[in-house]
Amino acid sequence: MSEPLKLGLDGLVDVLKAAGEPTRLRLLALLDGGDLTVTDLTEILGQSQPRISRHLKLLGEAELIERYQEGAWAYFRLKQDGKAALLVRALLKHVSENDPTVLRDGERLSQVKRQRAERAQAYFSRNAAEWDELRRLHAADEEVDAAVIRLLGNQPIDSLLDLGTGTGRILELLSGLYRRAIGVDASRDMLSVARANLDKSRITKATVRHADILNLPFEGQDFDLVTIHQVLHFFDQPEIAIAEASRMLRPGGRLVVIDLAPHTLEYLRDEHAHVRLGFSHQAMSDWLRKAGLDVEQVVDLHPGQQGGQGLTVTVWLARDPRRLMASQTSEGAEPTFAGRV
């Protein structure tokens, strides 16, 4: 059995006060299921926006929920970490699923998520032809997914950061391995698609955020896996994104980069906004090493196209070496972490 959660008396009373009110407990139950806006919560609970906002403010002050801005919208969700949030999660397990109020909230939440999915599908449908064309050019998504899984193995992932998350494919693919995950993207439309896909797959331990992957709004050294999937060819200076990804890694953390190998399909620049026509092993390895990472494996996945018109997908696996170097110190010696280049 795991050790019971320990809080000081004052801290415990604060958590119970914050959670111990019907509307706030309903809010916590809803936010345990994913990201929602004040408008979503107002629609589900049938209460005024000022009232909902006041309750959210109290829950935030008690460090039970987190808030993040996405343009004009603010999203809320139950915090993933912290003693107070863990206590609330334990309390929520004792809420009866057959309670009439809980059932009604669940039905309205499902309706909100259906509307979200419909909006996302409309955007996806408008762009499906373009994405399908690109998929036909390179190795099948299933083959790429399998290669990523083989490289990562079955080692549990505490925290995952997916840069340029797009439709949330990596968040879905690795959902059986990580404890918590964040996907970031610069496109709010794509974030809508990703949220809808996470809802559909019932993945509540992942969230998506609007952010610039060249200037991430997170503390460094907070993730033990960072992924960059088919994103770098859109950037004039991919090495900046790699350096930022490296900054996010904990000692011993891993970075997976999935992108195109060098090719000559110039029309992708004009028709699909590709800035770079793929990356050589040497160029990517140089950027990874400059960011302080050791390249562990590189895998090329060739397309099934005839006549040499297809695109090869390359998967790079690199690691922050600091923990590895610490483990190699002599027994009894004070471990030291290597600095990054």
The model's pLDDT over 225-276, given as tens digits with 9 standing for 90+, comes to 999 998 899 888 899 999 999 999 999 999 999 999 998 888 888 777 788 8
**Region label for 243, one of left (φ > 0), alpha (ψ between -120 and 50) or beta (otherwise):** alpha
Q: Is the pLDDT of residue 102 over 80?
A: yes
The DSSP H or E segment spanning 208 is strand 206-210
pLDDT at 305 over 90: no
pLDDT value at position 87?
87
pLDDT at 123: 58
pLDDT on residue 132: 57
* b (16+ CB within 10 A) / e for 75-110: bbbbbbeeebbebbbebeeeeeeeeeebeebbebbe
* Tokens read off for 319: 């690691």
The helix/strand/coil state of 340 is coil
Amino acid at 43: E
Secondary structure letter of residue 234 according to DSSP: G
Residue-level pLDDT at 341: 35
Determine the Cα–Cα distance for residues 38 and 269; give it in Å rounded to an integer.
Answer: 40
**115 vs 315, higher pLDDT:** 315
Token pair in block for residue 157: 């992932």
Q: How confident is the model at residue 133 (pLDDT cuts 50, 70, 90)?
A: low
- For the chain, give the mean pLDDT: 85
Strand-strand pairing, 178-185 and 206-210: parallel
Q: How many residues does the chain have?
A: 341
Instruction: Say what the pTM is.
Output: 0.74
At residue 337, does pLDDT exceed 50?
Answer: no
Query: What domains, with CATH codes, occur in the chain?
Result: 9-117 (1.10.10.10), 130-320 (3.40.50.150)
Residues 6+ apart with CB under 8 A from 76: 31, 35, 36, 37, 38, 41, 56, 65, 66, 67
Q: Is the separation of the CB atoms in 318 and 288 below 8 Å?
A: yes
More confident residue, 186 or 174: 174
Per-residue confidence (pLDDT) for residue 71, from 0 to 100: 67
Q: Can you give the pLDDT at residue 175?
A: 95
Distance separating alpha carbons of residues 321 and 328, to the nearest angstrom = 11
Q: At what angle do helices 22-31 and 83-92 cross, to 10 degrees?
A: 100
Q: What is the pLDDT of residue 327?
A: 45
Name which of 3-17, 22-36, 153-167, 287-301 the model is least confident about. 3-17
- Give the pair of three-digit tokens for residue 277: 């026509």
Mean pLDDT calculated for residue range 289-297: 95
Q: By the 8 A CB rule, do 311 and 260 touch?
A: yes
Q: How far is CA 142 from CA 66, 138, 139, 244, 254, in A?
A: 34, 11, 8, 28, 22
The answer to whether residues 11 and 85 touch, using CB atoms and an 8 Å cutoff, is no
298 pLDDT exceeds 60?
yes
CB atoms within 10 A of CB 9: 7
Contacts of 31 (CB under 8 A, 6+ apart): 65, 76, 77, 78
